[in-house]
Amino acid sequence: MELLLAKILIGFIVGTLIGLTGLGGGVLLLPMLIFGLRIPPIIAVGSDAMFNFFTKIPASIMHLRKGTVRRKVVLALAAGSIPGSYLGVTLLIHLRHVYGAGVNDFIKSAVGLLLVLIPTLLLFQGRIEDHLAKRQPTMKSFAFMGVIGLVGGFLVGITSVGSGSIIMMMLLLFYSFAPKIMVGTDIAHAVILTGVTSLLHWRAGNVDPHLVVSLLIGSIPGGIVGSHLSTRVPVLWLRRILCTVLLMTGARMLWA
Is residue 178 predicted with pLDDT exceeding 80? no
Distance in angstroms (rounded) separating the CA atoms of residues 202 and 42: 11
Most confident of 1-5, 83-87, 168-172, 175-179: 83-87
Tell me the residue range of the domain where 33 lies: 2-255
Compute φ and ψ for 197, nearest 5 degrees: -60, -45
Distance in angstroms (rounded) separating the CA atoms of residues 173 and 199: 30
Distance in angstroms (rounded) separating the CA atoms of residues 38 and 40: 6
Is residue 138 predicted with pLDDT exceeding 60? no
| Predicted pLDDT at 255 | 74
Task: Put residue 70 in one of left, alpha, beta given phi > 0 → left and psi -120 to 50 → alpha.
Answer: beta
| Predicted pLDDT at 48 | 94
Most confident of 116-125, 205-214, 224-233: 205-214
Is residue 1 predicted with pLDDT exceeding 60? yes
Assign 157 a pLDDT band (cuts: 50, 70, 90): very high
| Predicted pLDDT at 218 | 92
Assign 140 a pLDDT band (cuts: 50, 70, 90): low
| Predicted pLDDT at 83 | 97
**What predicted TM-score, i.e. pTM, was given to this entire model?**
0.87
Is residue 80 predicted with pLDDT exceeding 70? yes
CB 42 within 8 A of CB 180: no
Distance in angstroms (rounded) separating the CA atoms of residues 29 and 48: 7
| Predicted pLDDT at 94 | 96
Domain count, the chain: 1
Distance in angstroms (rounded) separating the CA atoms of residues 35 and 87: 26
| Predicted pLDDT at 131 | 60
